[in-house]
Amino acid sequence: MVKSRTSLLLIYVLFVCVVTVAMQGMRAVETEAGGIELMSAYAWFCALLFFVATYRRNAVTRYWYGTALLAALFARELDLDKAFFDSGILSLRHYSGAAPLWQKLVGAAVVLGLLTSGILLLVKGSGPFLHGIKTEERGQLLILAALCLTVFGKSLDGLARKLWGVGIEVSTKTIQIAQIAEESAELAASLCVMAAVRRLPLAARERS
8 A C-beta contact, residue 146 and residue 189: yes
Residue 204: the pLDDT is: 46
**Using one digit for the tens of pLDDT, what is the confidence trace for 163-181?**
776 677 777 777 777 777 8
pLDDT, average across residues 191-195: 88
Q: CA-CA distance, 18 to 38, in Å (whole number)?
A: 13
Residues 6+ apart with CB under 8 A from 81: 75, 88, 89, 90, 110
Q: At what angle do helices 172-207 and 35-55 cross, to 10 degrees?
A: 10
Question: Which pLDDT value is given to residue 57?
Answer: 87
H or E segment at 7? helix 2-24
Can you give the pLDDT at residue 205? 41
Please give the pLDDT value at position 144.
92
Predicted local confidence at residue 176, as pLDDT? 76
Going by C-alpha positions, the residue among 49, 1, 43, 54 that lies closest to residue 204 is 54
- Cα(89)–Cα(173) distance, rounded to whole angstroms? 32
The string of pLDDT tens digits covering residues 97-154 is: 777 788 888 888 988 999 999 999 999 888 888 988 898 888 889 999 999 999 988 8
